[in-house]
């Protein structure tokens, strides 16, 4: 194995996953931790996601989520002007 092959094995040409995702809080949301319909998916998650303290979730909000450990946290609403 030459050095280039070795580097390809330990560091494949794949971009690391983004630390952020976009999604929407479903229209069925009423209270508590929200589920999220992530962009590119057809149905909302069954898992409920925590939110930063300054954000109060509302049905229909577009939100930015950040990867924390092995999960996601809702950062805030994304305002579309």
- The domains of the chain are located at 17-77
List, as own/partner pairs, every contact residues 42-46 make where C-beta atoms lie below 8 angstroms and the sequence separation is at least 24, other chains included: none
Taking only the tens place, the pLDDT of each residue in 13-30 is 666 778 999 999 999 999
Q: Is the pTM of this model over 0.95?
A: no
CATH number of 17-77: 2.40.50
| Other beta carbons less than 10 A from residue 25's beta carbon | 22
Note the pLDDT of residue 18. Answer: 87
- The yes-or-no verdict on residue 11 having pLDDT over 90 is no
12 pLDDT band (50/70/90 cuts)? low
Give the Cα separation of 37 and 3 in Å (integer): 43
């Amino acid at each position: 194995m030459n050095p280039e092959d070795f580097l390809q094995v330990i560091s494949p040409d794949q971009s690391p996953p983004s630390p952020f995702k976009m999604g929407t809080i479903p229209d069925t949301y009423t209270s508590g931790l929200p589920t999220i319909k992530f962009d590119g998916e057809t149905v909302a998650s069954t898992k409920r996601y925590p939110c930063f303290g300054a954000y109060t979730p509302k049905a229909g909000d577009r939100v930015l989520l950040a990867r924390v450990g092995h999960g996601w946290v809702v950062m805030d609403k994304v305002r579309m002007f």
